[in-house]
């Protein structure tokens, strides 16, 4: 056994340019974990990472480095089928690994799962009893890794589930992704090696073929183990040795470069991407090339150069927007891995449907501009300055994240077979390297991408629109013509000296104060009629959370819904007088001001979380949303293009017909009419500004959570918020499911599958206790549905069941959706209804006890999470008009009783208020 220890602080990973703000709450802030790595004599490698912050919790993963790329032409989908079959009968567990784990209280999805990709098959285990379950976890993995039986009888039964998994992946996204893979990864195995396989292979491949694949690739030398959590490394090493060391060392078949990389050549291909249900309208020029993957300091440096080039290029392309034709939207740059050491770099231009010639001209011209002039040194210096600031923050900030966050970070690095590099180390090393990266080197890298000889021009056409792409010869001729033209470099807009924010007079007064000392809440009324709810809590630490709620949803009285949505969306990017949008965005990023504008059917929410010292800027920016926001014409143009693309698709789209039918079936009508071509043509920034003026005039309730003195908060509230001009609330018309039982069956599917949806509701007054009971009942009913439809009926692979006590509608609302074979849709819908109807009686005291433990564990994990406190503060005022709900948090687990949960389980289904919508393939309506 080869073994070594190391600290995960080596020098490999790419610097994250802008570090995300850590969530506020109880997180693990510890030195980077000490990692034990080893290799058994038979070749199996393992990684052990002790992480003790959550008592008893562990996460275990096993990688088999074999995926769909390792299949022969006669083995389509076999790697994935083997993944399924190793959970069935094994030498020691003839009834199956999954059955044995289920007997021990494990649940598929929650405690064990697996996934197959192009290059690997990964098995994930999270024992319900934590570290106590490590022994059975390793026993299960051993059985799966070396002792699977894979009988024909078991395979014939498992095919039913695999077929439904295949069926569930069908759709426009899958079809378009297959086209993109065929275009970008042409010349390699990827286009013909879908991990799920095809219907013929799933139905016909014999068990002997699966066993051949299993025996060829499931060898210790082709496997890796990762164990993270509350463990003793020495004890875990001994367990790994005991279970896996007896396995024989077997040779792993060699793979050649063609497995993973495209065979590149000098060429210019032209590809048309189109699907009747897709709304893409785009022209792109893509170059494919090979680059060595370097490790160590030089690898880090090269990735830093790449980051600088891509970020500077993005800024330069944004400055060029105003020079683009009116029918061309944004031009963006993307670089992606398409093999292990092959890459694609492209320029992508969004275009109005039908304007593909203009789009092609634009892409060629911008590409030539970059080849001729490269990137502006001022952009590169600006990007380096931003990276330097981010690196300083990373260097000086210890990493903090919850257990699940650590698992995700460490597992990603492990999966890619490289050590995890701490953010502080990445920051330190970026600071060492930045000054030695210069303009010439960055531009040389960009030009190497742009001038790579393996070239691809893609035309994405929406819906069923007609278009004949030009030939590669015609494109090459036009490229030569433009290359001879005299182009100008992209204009530089000097934004170094930003103007001060405009000063507007919205001063007012705080009129009244109401104290709730038990909850530490104050309620203020302002002179303009608005209200402030301020919770002072040390949980906020040095942060301020802000949320403004108003009755100004897009279905509000006097609004044009589509225009209201567009105005609210664009106001999130609008700059005040004297500012450019890009400069304003940069200024807000520098100050950590990330506003989120969320407009629902009946409400508008504006929210932000900032550092305490940004209090004045926070309220100033909110004020300017109401007094000084100017919608950018370029942003509006891109939004109009998106709506135009949607129009093209909706003319003949089956998905739009489905959406309309389901809305009419549930609600009696669609929520609103989409804009016509004429309305889009007439749209102006002035009309959007007028719509926003109506929206922003609705009275507001401000929710503020901050640990600051009243003397600090009151003056800024009075200066910026208390005098904003207000009007009347924009009450929204009701849009909720109508009472009654209705069913509809439509033949609107392209694929050979049925999509089944059931919606139900029951009236129920909201309370915190009832909401918890509904949540618990939903969890238990989900388990019952999976057992009935997947495990017993073998009719579905995935299903989604949602249920909640909607505090706005005072209803218990539920939705079930699944896909199946068309001939089984009616049968499975009936099974689902019976399961829902009988669910309450099947809930046991054992279920309740288990759910109560999970609830309390989740509550303990949420302690200190301000998001939960925020949500409950809002709910408290929505239902009680006071903060009293905050005082009831500690006793909610007492509501998890057998009687209470059973009662709410009966509310999650009603045959009297039930809608069933089934969509089958075209030609099979009956």
Fold that domain 2-257 belongs to in CATH: Cytochrome Bc1 Complex; Chain A, domain 1 (3.30.830)
Which of 266-275, 295-304, 842-851 has the weakest average pLDDT? 295-304
* Phi and psi angles of residue 238, each rounded to the nearest 5 degrees, phi first: -65, -40
Q: What is the pTM of this model?
A: 0.85
Choose among 518, 526, 577, 420: nearest CA to 885: 518
pLDDT at 631: 84
Helix then strand then coil, in percent of the chain rounded to 5, is 45, 20, 35
Which of 306-320, 321-335, 388-402 has the weakest average pLDDT? 388-402
pLDDT at 692: 94
Which of 676-685, 764-773, 776-785, 907-916 has the weakest average pLDDT? 676-685
Check pLDDT > 60 for residue 53: yes
pLDDT at 864: 64
pLDDT at 859: 79
pLDDT at 450: 98
Q: Kindly report the three-state secondary structure assignment for every residue of 478-547.
A: HHHHHHHCCCCCCCCCCCCCCCCCCCCCCCCCEEEEEEECCCCEEEEEECCCCEEEEECCHHHCCEEEEE
pLDDT at 15: 42
Check pLDDT > 50 for residue 12: no
pLDDT tens digit string along 471-501? 999 999 999 999 999 999 998 877 557 888 9
Rounded CA separation 650/655 (Å): 8
Q: How many CB atoms lie within 10 A of CB 446?
A: 22
pLDDT at 4: 40
Q: Kindly report the three-state secondary structure assignment for every residue of 384-423.
A: HHHHHHHHHHHHHCCCEECHHHHHHHHHHHHHCCCCCCCH
Rounded CA separation 375/439 (Å): 8
Check pLDDT > 50 for residue 14: no
Q: Mean pLDDT over residues 645-669, rounded?
A: 88
pLDDT at 925: 56
List all residues 6 or more positions away from 12 whose beta carbon is below 8 Å from its beta carbon: 295, 296, 299, 300, 418, 419, 421
pLDDT at 405: 84
**Higher confidence at residue 635 or residue 705?**
705
Check pLDDT > 60 for residue 10: no
Token digits of residue 340: 């292990």
Token digits of residue 824: 């089984």
Assign domain 267-397+421-484 one CATH number from 3.40.50.2300, 3.30.830.10, 2.40.50.140, 1.10.10.10.
3.30.830.10
pLDDT at 361: 97
Choose among 764, 765, 761: nearest CA to 740: 761
Check pLDDT > 80 for residue 848: yes
List all residues 6 or more positions away from 921 whose beta carbon is below 8 Å from its beta carbon: 747, 749, 750, 751, 752, 753, 754, 822
The CA-based diameter of the chain, rounded to the nearest angstrom, is 81
Portion of the chain with pLDDT greater than 90, in percent: 76
**Higher confidence at residue 496 or residue 760?**
760
Q: Mean pLDDT over residues 136-143, rounded?
A: 98
Domain segments of the chain as ranges: 2-257, 267-397+421-484, 510-721, 740-921
pLDDT band (50, 70, 90) for residue 13: very low
Q: Mean pLDDT over residues 23-33, rounded?
A: 46
Token digits of residue 291: 């680059």
Which residue(s) pair with 15 in the sheet? Answer: none
**How far, in whole angstroms, is CA 308 from its chain's centroid?**
25
pLDDT at 614: 96
pLDDT tens digit string along 151-193? 999 999 999 999 999 999 999 999 999 999 999 999 999 999 9
pLDDT at 496: 59
For the chain, the average pLDDT equals: 91
Secondary-structure class of domain 510-721 per CATH: alpha beta
Query: What's the angle, vertex CA 407, arms to CA 403 and CA 410, rounded to 5?
Result: 135
Q: Mean pLDDT over residues 803-808, rounded?
A: 94
pLDDT at 499: 85
pLDDT tens digit string along 210-252? 999 999 999 999 999 999 999 999 999 999 999 999 999 999 9
**How far, in whole angstroms, is CA 669 from its chain's centroid?**
30
Check pLDDT > 60 for residue 8: no
Q: How many CB atoms lie within 10 A of CB 5?
A: 11
Token digits of residue 33: 């974990």
User: In CATH, what number does 740-921 get?
Assistant: 3.30.830.10
pLDDT at 26: 37
pLDDT tens digit string along 867-885? 888 989 999 999 999 999 8
Sheet holding 454-461, edge to edge: 267-274, 454-461, 282-290, 342-351, 328-337
Query: What's the angle, vertex CA 850, arms to CA 844 and CA 856, rounded to 5?
Result: 135
pLDDT at 924: 67
Rounded CA separation 726/694 (Å): 9
The residue to which tokens 């969509």 are assigned = 919
Rounded CA separation 833/908 (Å): 11
Check pLDDT > 70 for residue 591: yes
Q: How many CB atoms lie within 10 A of CB 416?
A: 11
Q: Same topology for domains 510-721 and 740-921, yes or no?
A: yes
pLDDT at 722: 97
pLDDT tens digit string along 596-652? 999 999 999 999 999 999 999 999 999 999 998 788 888 888 888 888 888 887 777
DSSP E strand boundaries for 752-828: 754-763, 799-806, 811-820
pLDDT band (50, 70, 90) for residue 809: very high
pLDDT at 163: 95
């Amino acid at each position: 056994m080869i073994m070594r220890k190391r600290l995960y602080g080596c020098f490999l990973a790419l610097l994250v340019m802008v570090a995300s703000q850590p969530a506020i709450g109880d997180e693990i802030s510890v030195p980077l974990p000490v990692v034990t790595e080893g290799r058994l004599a038979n070749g199996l490698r393992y990684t052990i990472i002790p992480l003790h912050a959550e008592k008893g919790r562990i996460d275990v993963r096993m990688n088999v480095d074999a995926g769909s790329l390792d299949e022969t032409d006669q083995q389509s989908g076999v790697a994935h089928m083997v993944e399924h079959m190793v959970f069935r009968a094994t030498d020691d567990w003839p009834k199956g690994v999954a059955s044995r784990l289920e007997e021990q209280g494990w649940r598929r999805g929650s405690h064990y799962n697996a996934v197959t990709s192009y290059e690997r098959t990964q098995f994930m285990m999270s024992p319900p009893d934590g570290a106590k379950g490590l022994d059975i976890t390793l026993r299960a993995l051993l059985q799966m890794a070396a002792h699977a039986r894979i009988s024909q009888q078991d395979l014939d039964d498992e095919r039913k589930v695999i077929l439904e998994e295949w069926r569930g992946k069908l759709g426009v996204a899958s079809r378009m992704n297959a086209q993109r893979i065929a275009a970008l990864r042409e010349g390699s195995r990827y286009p013909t090696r879908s991990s799920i396989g095809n219907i013929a292979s799933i139905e016909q491949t014999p068990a002997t073929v699966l066993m051949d694949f299993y025996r060829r690739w499931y060898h210790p030398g082709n496997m890796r183990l990762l164990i993270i959590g509350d463990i003793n490394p020495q004890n875990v090493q001994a367990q790994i040795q005991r279970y896996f060391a007896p396995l024989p060392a077997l040779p792993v078949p060699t793979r050649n470069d063609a497995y993973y990389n495209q065979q590149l050549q000098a060429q210019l291909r032209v590809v048309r991407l189109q699907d009747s249900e897709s709304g893409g309208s785009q022209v792109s020029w893509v170059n494919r090339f090979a680059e060595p993957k370097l490790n160590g300091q030089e690898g880090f440096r090269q990735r830093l150069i790449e980051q600088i080039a891509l970020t500077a290029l993005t800024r330069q392309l944004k400055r060029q927007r105003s020079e683009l034709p009116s029918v061309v939207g944004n031009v963006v740059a993307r670089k992606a891995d398409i093999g292990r050491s092959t890459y694609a770099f492209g320029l992508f231009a969004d275009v109005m449907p039908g304007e593909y010639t203009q789009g092609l001209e634009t892409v060629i011209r911008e590409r030539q501009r970059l080849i001729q002039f490269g990137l502006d040194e001022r952009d590169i210096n600006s990007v380096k300055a931003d990276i330097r600031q981010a690196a300083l923050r990373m260097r000086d900030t210890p990493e903090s994240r919850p257990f699940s966050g650590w698992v995700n970070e460490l597992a990603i690095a492990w999966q890619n077979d490289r050590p995890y590099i701490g953010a502080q180390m990445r920051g330190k090393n970026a600071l060492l390297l930045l000054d030695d990266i210069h303009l010439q080197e960055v531009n040389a890298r960009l030009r190497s991408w742009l001038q790579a000889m393996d070239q691809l021009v893609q035309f994405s056409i929406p819906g069923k629109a007609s278009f004949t792409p030009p030939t590669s010869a015609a494109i090459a001729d036009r490229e030569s013509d433009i290359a001879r033209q005299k182009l100008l470099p992209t204009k530089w807009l000097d934004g170094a000296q930003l103007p001060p924010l405009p000063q507007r007079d919205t001063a007012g007064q705080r009129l009244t104060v109401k104290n709730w000392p038990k909850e530490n809440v104050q309620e203020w009324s302002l002179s303009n009629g608005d209200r402030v709810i301020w919770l002072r809590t040390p949980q906020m630490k040095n942060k301020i959370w802000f949320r403004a709620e108003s009755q100004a949803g897009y279905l509000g009285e006097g609004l044009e819904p589509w225009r209201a949505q567009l105005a609210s969306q664009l106001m999130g990017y609008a700059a005040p007088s004297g500012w450019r949008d890009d400069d304003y965005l940069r200024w807000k990023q520098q100050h950590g001001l990330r506003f989120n504008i969320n407009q629902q059917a009946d409400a508008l929410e504006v929210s932000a979380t900032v550092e305490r010292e940004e209090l004045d800027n926070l309220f100033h920016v909110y004020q300017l949303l109401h007094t000084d926001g100017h919608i950018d014409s370029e942003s509006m143009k891109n939004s109009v293009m998106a709506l135009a693309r949607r129009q093209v698709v909706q003319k003949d789209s089956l998905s739009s017909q489905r959406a309309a039918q389901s809305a009419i079936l549930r609600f009696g009508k669609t929520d609103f009419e989409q804009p016509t071509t004429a309305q889009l043509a007439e749209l102006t920034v002035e009309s959007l500004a007028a719509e926003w003026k109506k929206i922003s005039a609705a009275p507001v309730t401000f929710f503020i959570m901050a640990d600051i003195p009243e003397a600090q908060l009151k003056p800024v509230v009075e200066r910026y918020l208390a005098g904003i001009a207000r009007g009347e609330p924009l009450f929204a018309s009701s849009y909720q499911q109508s009472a009654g039982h209705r069913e509809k069956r439509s033949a609107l599917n392209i694929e050979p599958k049925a999509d089944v949806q059931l919606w139900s509701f029951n009236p129920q007054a909201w309370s915190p206790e009832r909401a918890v009971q509904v949540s618990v009942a939903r969890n238990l009913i989900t388990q019952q549905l999976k057992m009935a439809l997947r495990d017993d009926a073998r009719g579905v692979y995935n299903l989604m069941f949602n249920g909640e006590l909607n505090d706005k509608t005072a209803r218990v609302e539920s939705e079930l959706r699944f896909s199946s074979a068309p001939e089984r849709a009616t049968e499975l819908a009936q099974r689902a209804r019976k399961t829902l109807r009988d669910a309450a009686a099947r809930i046991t005291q054992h279920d309740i006890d288990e759910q109560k433990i999970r609830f309390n564990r989740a509550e303990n994990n949420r302690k200190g999470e301000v998001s939960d406190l925020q949500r409950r503060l809002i709910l408290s005022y929505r239902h009680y008009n006071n903060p009293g709900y905050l005082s009831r948090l500690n006793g909610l687990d007492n509501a998890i009783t057998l009687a209470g949960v059973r009662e709410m389980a009966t509310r999650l289904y009603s045959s009297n208020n039930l809608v069933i919508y089934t969509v089958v393939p075209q030609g099979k309506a009956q």
